[in-house]
Amino acid sequence: MSGQGAPRSSVQAAGARIAIVAASWHTEVMDGLVAGALRASAAAGATATVIRVTGSFELPIIAKACAASDDFDVVVALGVVIRGDTPHFDFVCAAATDGLAQVALDFMVPVGFGLLTCDTDAQALDRAGLPGSREDKGAEATEAALLTWQTVVDLSGER
């Protein structure tokens, strides 16, 4: 399981404003990812706004709009792409991944990467943070983005 050796850090981000940009495909998995992101946001003292998009391909443009605004300090992108019988999976995963990385670099806004790229529905459910899931990737992506935000703030000396 990919969660082996994951760091455990205490995230304190009172006042941080998070945009949780979430795809709509695979409702059960997405509901778990969003719930995990909201739990992690609340535990850190941050405020979160959930913004739904159609699919994972649309995550980067809305993440960019959020990063470009003065409304959010952190963006968390959540989505699910399940491998099918065509190369569509590869194109969507690559475009979403590259686009989200570019948003973070262009705007110096941490982007939590909560895009599940799975071979099967069972793999996605196992990472969704649902009862019985082995991992909570929505929470992990949020915590990673908030820790990155804390580091950027510390390095810049601003708050």
Active-site residues, by number, are 88
130: left (phi over 0), alpha (psi -120 to 50) or beta: beta
Q: How far apart are CA 28 and CA 69, in angstroms?
A: 30
Residue 44 has which token pair?
């850190």
Q: What residue has token string 């995550």? A: 59
Q: Is 47 within 8 Å of 16 (Cβ atoms)?
A: yes
Distance CA 134, CA 131 (A): 9
Residues 6+ apart with CB under 8 A from 43: 11
User: 22: closest CA among 12, 14, 32, 9?
Assistant: 32
